[in-house]
Amino acid sequence: MSPRLQDITTYLQRLGYERAPPPTLDNLRELQRRHTAEFPFETLATLLRMPVPIDLAALERKLLHEGRGGYCFELNRMFLALLQQLGYDARGLSGRVLMGGPEDAMPARTHMLVLVTIDGVRYIADVGFGGMVPTAPLRLDREDAQATPHEFYRIEQRDGQYLLRAQVGEEWRAMYVFDLQTQVDVDYVVGNWYVSTHPESPFLGQLFVARTGPGLRKTFNNGSFAVHRLGEDSVRRELADADSVIEVLGDEFGIRVPVHPQLHAAIERLLEKSAAA
């Protein structure tokens, strides 16, 4: 993989910066908040069963110039490179996703996140966890509830690992487990290959989209578009056809939907499957 971003100026401009911010905790908080609001989580590539390259050149082209988003191996890979070039002490980690499944499961390492150390204090930063992405860095070595601009989160130590929980209503739901094992580029290549190609990948042939905003989250889960506002009931709308989905992707998530001969058919199959479920 290319070791450095080639167009950091455009990246920073997309995040609202005219010049590079100093590597402080306050700026990390702001970078993470802005990133989750600017760059959507989306799985159009895996819906279409297309390759998902994660070298920096491909990521810059897709996210900065093609009007697209991506999933964790794309969004957090770019974010890690940005943090490192801004002078943060940052490195990548990997995790096992538990959300929606049993807490004692041991699935594959299919999630990338970032460890950042500031003044000797360790934080995790994550801009690529879909509809429940933390919108602020979380201090690693504490177990009490931590506020973000959206939900509260908590990190528990468990059997030599860390378990991330999010408060959803009155529940503390498990998101993923991770450890501090050093990761190298090939680890992410392998994880990304599994997510984008393996028949048992939850993303293959599926469409999940998410983006944050002030006091809200927007999500699309196959056929269902939802807006979740803090302290209010979620508002959901089932989309009837591919044209409606494509319109929502552009208008609500800011995605420049790629021209692909199989896109309409893939979305229609997805909606039919969701309606039959």
Residues with catalytic function:
72, 111, 126
Question: What is the number of helices (H) and of strands (E) in the chain?
Answer: 8, 13
DSSP tag of 122: E
Beta strands in the chain (DSSP E): 41-42, 89-97, 111-118, 121-125, 138-139, 146-147, 152-158, 161-168, 171-178, 208-213, 216-221, 224-229, 235-238
Tens digits of residue pLDDT in 77-92: 999 999 999 999 999 9
* pLDDT of 208 over the 90 cut: yes
Alpha-carbon distance of 66 to 229, in angstroms, equals 29
Mean pLDDT value across residues 179-204: 95
- The confidence score (pLDDT) of residue 159 equals 86
Mean residue pLDDT of the chain comes to 95
254/214 Cα distance (integer angstroms): 15
- Residue 2 is predicted with a pLDDT of 43
What percent of the chain is predicted at pLDDT more than 70?
99
pTM: 0.96
The phi and psi torsions of 123 (rounded to 5 degrees) equal: -135, 155
* Percent over 90 (pLDDT), the chain: 92
pLDDT for 9-43, tens place per residue? 999 999 999 999 999 999 999 999 999 999 999 99
